[in-house]
Chain A
Amino acid sequence: MPEISALGYAAGLALVAAVAWAIAAPLLRAVVVAPGAGPVDRERYRLEKERDLAYAAIKEADFDFQMGKLSDEDYAALRRTYEGRAVAALTALDRRR
């Protein structure tokens, strides 16, 4: 093991001090209560998600129909289903406002 010079020790100490300062600095700032552990408004989340999924499904069905992947009946049935779901989700969201 080679001898470590005084400069080496100084560099090592400087490194330790810099690390300690960088990690400790945030602890010296004002504490803000972090929004982290609480529950989400799950029902609202579910409804918004339901609405967005229904929109996406309608758009997708339109494109698939244009591409010839859906029959007239399947397309109409899908549109009915997902328009119904979108309306139900929007109504429920309106009631929560």
Chain B
Amino acid sequence: MIELGVLALRLALAGAIYAAIAATVGARLRRSDVVGSSRAAAYVVQALVVLAAAVLLRALLQHDFSLEYVAAYSSSTLPTQYTVAALWGGQQGSLLFWVLILTSMSSLVHLQNRHRNEALMPYVTTTLMTTAVFFLGLLVFVTDPFQRLPVAAREGADLNPLLQNYWMMIHPPSLYLGYVGCSVPFAFAIAALASGRLGDVWIRTTRRWTLFAWFFLTVGNLLGARWAYEVLGWGGYWAWDPVENAAFMPWLACTAFLHSVMIQEKRDMLKMWNMVLVLLTFTLTIFGTFLTRSGVVSSVHSFTQSGLGPFFIGFLVTVITVSVTLLVVRRPLLRSDNEIDSFLSREAAFLFNNLLLVGIAFATFWGTVFPVISEAVRGIKITVGPPFFNKVNAPLGLALLFMTGVGPVIAWRRASARNLRRSFTTPLAMGFAAGVVLFALGVRHYYAIISFSLAGFVLTTISLEFYRGTRARQALMGEPPATALAHLVNKNRRRYGGYIVHVGVVMAFIGIAASSAFRIEEQRTMRSGESIEVGGYTLTYKGLRHTDTPHVASMLAEMEVARGDRVIATMFPEKRFYKRQQQPTTEVALRMTWREDLYLVLGSYDDQSGLMTLQVFINPLVVWIWLGGILMVLGTVIVVMPTAAEQRALAAALAVEERGLAAWSQ
């Protein structure tokens, strides 16, 4: 059975090489049979990768410890859901999982476009299959998931205990879907450059794919933050860890693209800039994968030191070289006749938002790679920690938050100072009022005051957008308010879904600002029966409890939580000891409310005396970050749903190209 997996991977590699070459050759020779064969090969590659992944999954579930991968990342006592997660929990398996998603998306793209985009699709096939060749090449020649041990192990080493967590089950697949989803817009961008068809078609065709990738990058980042919050036990959710940064950077570039692409659609401008952003986003996804797998940075997320770094650098250099060459060659076709009419316009606001997003991405990139560069050039390892990132990115982030409020209020093309005054008076007053109230309440943390004021400003602009839009529809269509609001959102899902995403972003900002500025932290050593007061809570230590299974042993501290005289909860911060890995982990006890999280961490303990050290964190408004994430998801779902107008626009763009082709064929 294992040999079938080996064969499937080798055949998949051969098939992907064939598909990549045949697609472009077929396009150049204008041979439909060759292009058709390349398309069939792309489907076959997916089927073979599915087969290989199924073989590896079966080996994991059957505890086949003759395989090095199964022995290294699972054990016979590992719960089934984590045994399945072990498929992406190790180096080789995660690469296989990556290529599984990539080839599945490739098949979906080919199915969606089987009767359209005939000029672009061969190059799309070449790009997607070339990426698949890279990953399959690694799996076949460098890091084989089906490598056998000389002698089968009697027991597996188990999955890293930090990964044995619910959030870790869904965080990597989400992030991979986001990362790999970026390959589709990239492939269409390369196809547009290679074929010279640089109109709107590639952008309209990939709009949903870009949103899909952005959606999963957002969810993946948030789930990662949630995992870090619950598993790492340091009281926070984001530490500017290099691998966190690696997932954050493509999200920033993708967000910039989603905004600037609207300017291209509406004004036929920024074609070159949009191309650069798509290419940058994909490059950053590969760079992120390189960071995780090369071992060049130390991180809680990274896989062990491996020899994959040079291969990833080679692939990155190839991607950048091909992209830049195509951009230079096609530069004349990427010029636009239109210009920004006024700097007081929505397109100018979007441009500024783009600069901020790319600025944050650049600062994050620099802070992430600087230690690596420093070590390589000077031999000195420098740590760039959260203070650097917070110092640089916090002001940029606040400026971005401000622009989130400015963009919706300004008209496309031109806005006069008088209208801006009218549009901004109420939001600015609300923002200012929020700041004054906080100051009057005794808040002296200026970043927090600015954040909350900006949040008030943005939420008011968005509310006014819904209100004025509804009023405008009422005036134009004579509809009652509820119908007008429903039609307003339904007829322009992209704009109003986007506003809902923005509300989610504002909520996340509020949560981040409050939890950073007003966190309470205490550490106490306690005896059984002793109570402490922290942030209005009375915590009484009732004693230690012990549980034991063949897989894991646990020590739990029973903590009674009271507010005033009323007992509101019993919480169990926990230390676990994973037997196979001989590794202790911390399991946080968390009580979440909309106001604050009570976050308990069991430090050290003495079983004999019953003494234990408890860390208590009170993190205000953290739940707003997760609720903001849910709103972002909801808003994106609204944005993704197609409207009749968009489908007409895509059909029109395709028809224009088809007519062009027909004219040429005659």
Q: Are B33 and A26 in contact (CB under 8 A)?
A: yes
The stretch of B510-518, B532-540, B651-659 in contact with A is B651-659
Q: Is A6 an interface residue (CB 8 A)?
A: no
* Inter-subunit contact B35/A67 (CB<8 Å): no
- Pick the contact of B30: A23, A33, A41, A66 (CB < 8 A): A33
Are A74 and B419 in contact, CB atoms less than 8 angstroms apart? yes
B118 at the interface (CB under 8 A from A): yes
CA distance A23 to B16 in the complex (A): 11
| B661: A residues at CB distance < 8 A | 35, 38, 40
B141 within 8 A of A: no
B122 on the interface (CB 8 Å rule)?
yes
**What is the distance, in angstroms, from B519's C-beta to the closest C-beta of chain A?**
40
B15 surroundings in chain A (CB, below 8 A): 19, 23
Contact of A36 (CB < 8 Å), options: B11, B35, B268, B413: B35
Residues of A18-48 contacting chain B, CB below 8 A:
19, 22-42, 44-45, 48
Stretch at the interface among B41-49, B311-319, B352-360: B41-49
**Which residues of chain A are within 8 angstroms of B659 by Cβ–Cβ distance?**
41, 44
Please tell me which one of the listed residues B266, B465, B472 contacts residue A57 in the complex, with CB atoms under 8 A apart.
B266
Of B18, B118, B411, B662, most buried by chain A (CB within 10 Å of CB) is B411
Contact A74 to B416, CB < 8 A, known contacts A12-B4, A19-B15, A22-B40: yes
In the assembly, what is the distance between CA of A45 and CA of B30, in Å? 22
Question: A11 within 8 Å of B by Cβ?
Answer: yes
- Chain A residues with Cβ below 8 Å from B475 are 66
Given known contacts A64-B411, A69-B411, A71-B419, is B118 in contact with A35 (CB within 8 Å)?
A: yes
Q: Are A70 and B415 in contact (CB under 8 A)?
A: yes
B193 on the interface (CB 8 Å rule)?
no
Q: Is the CB of B665 within 8 A of A35?
A: yes
Chain B residues within 8 Å of A11, by CB: 4
A30 to chain B, nearest CB (A): 8
B164-172, B173-181, B196-204: which lies at the interface: B196-204
- Contact partners of B32 in chain A: CB under 8 A: 31-34
Q: Does A88 contact B (CB under 8 A)?
A: no
Choose among A1, A12, A25, A45 the residue with the greatest number of B CB atoms under 10 Å from its CB: A45
How far apart are A33's CB and chain B's nearest CB, in angstroms? 5
Is A44 within 8 A of B660, CB to CB? yes
Nearest neighbor of B12 in chain A, beta-carbon distance: A19
Min CB–CB distance B136 → chain A (angstroms): 14
* CA–CA, A1 and B148, complex, Å: 7
B490 CB within 8 Å of chain A:
no
CA A39 to CA B197, docked complex, whole Å: 8
Residue of B nearest to A66 (CB): B472
Chain B residues near A53: list those with CB within 8 A. Answer: 266-268
The smallest C-beta distance from B151 to any residue of chain A, in angstroms, reads 12
Decide if A68 touches B416 in the complex (CB within 8 Å).
Answer: no
Are A19's CB and B11's CB within 8 A?
yes
What's the Cα separation between A68 and B148 when bound, in Å? 70
Query: In the complex, are the beta carbons of B664 and A40 less than 8 A apart?
Result: yes
The 8 Å CB contact of A68, one of B8, B40, B122, B422, is B422
B43: A residues at CB distance < 8 A:
22
- Residue from the list B37, B266, B413 in contact with A24, Cβ < 8 A: B37
Known: A23-B41, A27-B34, A53-B267. A45 touches B118 (CB 8 A): no
Residues of B109-136 contacting chain A, CB below 8 A: 118-119, 122
Identify the closest chain A residue to B22 (Cβ).
Answer: A23
Give CA–CA (A96, B409) in the complex, Å: 41
Q: Report if B486 contacts A (CB, 8 A).
A: no
Residue contact B199 to A27, C-beta cutoff 8 Å: no
| Interface contact A15-B660, CB-CB below 8 Å | no
Q: Does A78 contact B (CB under 8 A)?
A: yes
Whether B44 contacts A26 by the Cβ 8 Å rule is: no
Among A33, A38, A60, A66, point to the contact of B412 (Cβ < 8 A): A60
Nearest CB of chain A from residue B14's CB, rounded to whole Å = 8
Contact indicator B48/A69 (Cβ below 8 Å): no
Q: What string of 1s and 0s marks CB contacts (under 8 Å) between B376-410 and chain A? A: 00000000000000000000000000000000011
- CB of B441 within 8 A of chain A? no
B27 contacts the other chain (CB 8 A):
yes
Cβ-defined contact, B656 with A26, below 8 A: no
Instruction: Please give the distance in Å from B198's CB to the nearest CB on chain A.
Output: 10
- Cβ < 8 Å to B, chain A residues 62-96: 63-64, 66-71, 73-74, 77-78
Listed residue (B34, B35, B266, B656) with the most chain A CB atoms within 10 angstroms of its CB: B656
Which of B40, B195, B468 interacts with A23 by CB under 8 Å? B40
Check: B590 CB closer than 8 A to any chain A CB: no
Inter-chain contact A19/B419, CB cutoff 8 Å: no
Residue from the list A1, A23, A25, A48 in contact with B656, Cβ < 8 A? A48
Among candidates A15, A26, A40, A52, residue contacting B652 with C-beta atoms closer than 8 Å:
A52
- The contact of A44 among B28, B422, B469, B663, by CB within 8 Å, is B663
> B293 → chain A, closest Cβ, in Å?
27
Known contacts A44-B660, A71-B419: A29-B36 contact under CB 8 Å: yes
B27 contacts A34, C-beta separation under 8 Å: yes
Which B residues touch A1, using CB under 8 A? 148
Find out whether the CB atom of B413 lies under 8 angstroms from the CB atom of A57: yes
Q: Residue of A at shortest CB range from B665?
A: A35
| Residues of chain A within 8 A of B545, CB atoms compared | none
Among candidates B33, B44, B416, B423, residue contacting A31 with C-beta atoms closer than 8 Å:
B33
Give the distance in Å from the alpha carbon of A36 to the alpha carbon of B24 in the complex: 10
Q: With the chains together, A12 CA to B199 CA distance in Å?
A: 46
Which of A23, A34, A49 meets B268, CB within 8 Å?
Answer: A49
Asked if B40 contacts A40 (CB within 8 A), the reply is no
| Closest A residue by C-beta to B19 | A23
In the assembled complex, 21 residue pairs joining A and B whose CB atoms fall closer than 8 Å, in A order, are A12-B7, A19-B15, A23-B40, A26-B36, A26-B37, A26-B39, A33-B30, A34-B26, A34-B35, A35-B661, A36-B27, A37-B195, A40-B199, A49-B199, A49-B268, A56-B266, A61-B411, A61-B412, A68-B422, A74-B415, A77-B414
For the complex of A and B, the 3 pairs showing the least CB-CB separation, nearest first, are A40-B660, A26-B36, A66-B472
**Residue ranges of A at the interface with B (Cβ–Cβ < 8 Å):** 1, 4, 8, 11-12, 15-16, 19, 22-42, 44-45, 48-49, 52-53, 56-57, 60-61, 63-64, 66-71, 73-74, 77-78
Excluding A12-B7, A15-B7, A66-B472, 9 further A-B contacts by CB distance (< 8 Å) are A23-B44, A40-B664, A67-B468, A67-B472, A69-B415, A71-B416, A74-B411, A74-B414, A74-B419
